[in-house]
């Protein structure tokens, strides 16, 4: 199977924050942002696998900056690492200042997707070859994140978590 680059899976979603999507202090609801991120990540996973991709887990979400009513929000999602049938999708969320046009990072998240066929059976996907420094950093960390997730879910023993041994020694 021919490896792919993370850039081939890039999905970008830009939208405006409307009044019905905010809480009582005019910040975008966290659940609304999670939904938008899930859609962008799903497209990214499908672009990489060229199959149906279903959300397996939301591994990490960091809400670091409030997103205000009327803000322009851009979500960028791309596959950071592919395993056998699953893939990690890293998501960056940017907010654009209405006056200056300057973008600042408001959020990031890591989702896991599994590629499946029309019957819902997992299918093998191509590996990833990272190109940029940040792609390489995210690629390297993905195996540690996967092993930690499996360990916390009770699906892996600490002795099997080869990438996490330094944490347990």
CATH of the domain at 49: 3.10.129.10
Domain-located, residue 119: yes
Residue 159 belongs to a domain: no
Q: Residue 96 has what pLDDT?
A: 93
Tokens of 131: 């190109």
Average pLDDT (108-114) is 97
Stated pTM of the model: 0.91
Per-residue model confidence as pLDDT tens digits over 43-75:
999 999 999 999 999 999 999 999 999 999 999
Higher pLDDT, 158 or 78: 78
Mean pLDDT over 100-122 rounds to 96
Predicted local distance difference test score (pLDDT) of residue 166: 67
In a domain, 158, yes or no: no
For residues 50 and 97, the model is more confident at 50
Look at residue 142 and tell me if it is in a domain: no
Q: What is the count of structural domains for the chain?
A: 1
The answer, yes or no, to whether residue 167 has pLDDT greater than 70, is no
pLDDT at 92 over 70: yes
DSSP calls for the chain: ---B-GGGG-EEEEEE--GGGB-TTSBB-HHHHHHHHHHHHHHHHHHHHSSEEEEEEEEEEEE-S--BTT-EEEEEEEEEEE-SSEEEEEEEEEEE-TTT--EEEEEEEEEEEEEE-TTS-B-----B---SHHHHHHHHHHHHHHHHHHHHTTSS-GGG-GGGHHHH-
Q: What is the residue-averaged pLDDT of the chain?
A: 93
Whether 32 is in a domain gets the answer: yes
Quick check: is 100 in a domain? yes
**Residue 163, in any domain of the structure:** no
Quick one: pLDDT at residue 161? 82
Model confidence pLDDT, tens digit, residues 112-133: 999 999 999 999 999 999 999 9
Q: What is the pLDDT of residue 7?
A: 97
Of 89-93, 101-105, 145-149, the one with minimum mean pLDDT is 145-149
Q: Confirm whether 148 is domain-assigned.
A: no
Q: What is the pLDDT of residues 141-166, one digit of tens each?
A: 998 888 888 888 888 887 788 877 76
Domain enclosing residue 123, as ranges: 6-129
């Amino acid at each position: 199977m021919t490896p792919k680059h993370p850039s081939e899976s890039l999905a970008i979603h830009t939208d405006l924050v409307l009044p019905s999507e905010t809480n009582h202090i005019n910040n975008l609801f966290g659940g609304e942002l999670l939904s938008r991120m899930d859609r962008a990540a799903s497209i990214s996973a499908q672009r990489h696998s060229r199959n149906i991709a279903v959300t397996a887990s939301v591994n990490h979400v960091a809400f670091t900056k409030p997103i205000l009513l009327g803000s322009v929000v851009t979500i960028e999602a791309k596959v950071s690492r592919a395993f056998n049938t699953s893939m990690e999708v890293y998501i960056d969320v940017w907010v654009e200042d209405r006056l200056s046009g300057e973008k600042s990072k408001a959020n990031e998240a890591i989702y896991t997707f599994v590629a499946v066929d029309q019957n819902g059976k997992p299918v093998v996907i191509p590996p990833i070859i990272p190109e940029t420094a940040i792609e390489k950093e995210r690629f390297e960390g993905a195996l540690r994140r996967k092993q930690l997730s499996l360990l916390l879910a009770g699906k892996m023993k600490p002795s099997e978590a080869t990438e996490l041994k330094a944490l347990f020694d």
